[in-house]
């Protein structure tokens, strides 16, 4: 499976899978269906109009709709962090090839090249390019330096499925309270990614960040994976007692 590294706010690289052709087509169809649905509402509204003055209002609405149709993807990606409603439903988003959020310029370039990807090539150019390119990019993505990845929903602490902590459990790292919920969610995401991909470098990088954050060293005989699991267990115990 093709992946791309995304750098988190804690400067830990996590591999995210690149969105496939099927998911991108599905997202495009959802967006197209949404636009057609809005158009049908306008047409139905026009059929009920009898007042000439209202006709002028309807014409104005259609002009606004035409502009929204043309700039739909550009506006959505700029204001919704690389996602249109279709992409959000399919859990995919546009990112820069370096893993960061795409810039307005990149969004503009990939929007501009929709003419080549879809309209001038009869909807075929972009699809073929996505199917054949290394990072599943259409022509606009290749020029803009972007791609589309599958997003993974952020996990809340309540959803973390670790073994329950015994009542008599004594935390190994007393200052684990210095961590916050966001850091614990990231630890869980790194552990989950590791169990799926076996990328040890994620564990080492995350462990280094947590050791630095807590100002500690690994106890003798404890490896990084056990350290992160212990930190999670300690945090669950400390926070449950505090509550």
Is residue 96 within 8 Å of 145, Cβ to Cβ?
yes
Instruction: Examine the pLDDT at 117 and tell me if it is beyond 50.
Output: yes
Residue 92's φ and ψ, nearest 5 degrees, are: -135, 160
Tokens of 44: 């139905």
In the predicted model, what is the mean pLDDT of the chain?
84
**Of 69-78, 155-164, 186-195, 196-205, highest mean pLDDT:** 69-78
Q: What is the pLDDT of residue 238?
A: 82
Confidence of residue 166 (pLDDT cuts 50, 70, 90): low
Q: What is the pLDDT of residue 100?
A: 78
For the stretch 197-236, pLDDT in tens is 777 788 888 999 999 999 999 988 899 999 999 999 888 8
Share of the chain above pLDDT 70, in %: 84
Question: How open is the CA angle 14-77-153, to the nearest 5 degrees?
Answer: 35
Beta-carbon contacts of residue 121 (< 8 Å; ≥ 6 apart): none
Instruction: Examine the pLDDT at 71 and tell me if it is beyond 80.
Output: yes
Instruction: Examine the pLDDT at 107 and tell me if it is beyond 70.
Output: yes
Of residues 80, 129, 70, the one with CA closest to residue 101: 80
User: Measured between alpha carbons, how far is 97 from 81 in angstroms, rounded to an integer?
Assistant: 15
Q: What is the pLDDT of residue 159?
A: 47
Instruction: Examine the pLDDT at 55 and tell me if it is beyond 80.
Output: no
Q: What is the pLDDT of residue 54?
A: 66
Q: What is the pLDDT of residue 162?
A: 46
Q: What is the pLDDT of residue 41?
A: 87
Is residue 221 within 8 Å of 182, Cβ to Cβ?
no
Q: What is the pLDDT of residue 161?
A: 43
Is residue 22 within 8 Å of 150, Cβ to Cβ?
no
Mean pLDDT throughout 30-56?
81
User: Measured between alpha carbons, how far is 230 from 225 in angstroms, rounded to an integer?
Assistant: 9
Can you give the three-state secondary structure of 172-238, one letter per residue? Answer: CCHHHHHCCHHHHHHHHHHHHHHHHHCCHHHHHHHHHHHHHHHCCCCCCCCCHHHHHHHHHHHHHHH
Domain definitions of the chain by residue range: 3-150, 157-242
Instruction: Examine the pLDDT at 50 and tell me if it is beyond 80.
Output: no
């Amino acid at each position: 499976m093709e992946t791309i590294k995304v750098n988190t706010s804690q400067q830990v690289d996590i591999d995210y899978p690149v969105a496939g052709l099927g998911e991108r087509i599905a997202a495009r169809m959802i967006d197209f269906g949404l636009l057609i649905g809005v158009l049908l509402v306008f047409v139905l509204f026009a059929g009920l109009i009898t007042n000439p003055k209202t006709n002028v209002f309807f014409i104005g609405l259609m002009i606004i709709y035409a502009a929204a149709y043309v700039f739909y993807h550009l506006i959505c990606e700029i204001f919704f962090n690389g996602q249109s409603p279709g992409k959000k439903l399919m859990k995919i988003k546009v990112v820069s090839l370096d893993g960061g959020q795409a810039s307005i310029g990149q969004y503009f370039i990939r929007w501009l090249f929709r003419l080549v990807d879809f309209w001038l090539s009869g909807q075929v150019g972009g699809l073929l390019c996505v199917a054949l390119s290394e990072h599943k990019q259409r022509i606009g993505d290749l020029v803009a330096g972007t791609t589309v990845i599958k997003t993974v929903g952020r996990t809340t602490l309540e959803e973390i499925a670790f073994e329950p902590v015994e009542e008599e459990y004594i935390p190994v790292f007393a200052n684990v309270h210095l961590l916050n919920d966001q850091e614990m969610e990231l630890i869980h995401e790194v552990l989950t990614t590791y169990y799926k991909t076996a990328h040890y470098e994620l564990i080492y990088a995350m462990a280094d960040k947590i050791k630095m954050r807590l100002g500690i060293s690994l106890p003798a005989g404890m490896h990084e994976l056990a350290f992160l699991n212990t930190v999670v267990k300690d945090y669950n115990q400390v926070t449950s007692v505090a509550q």
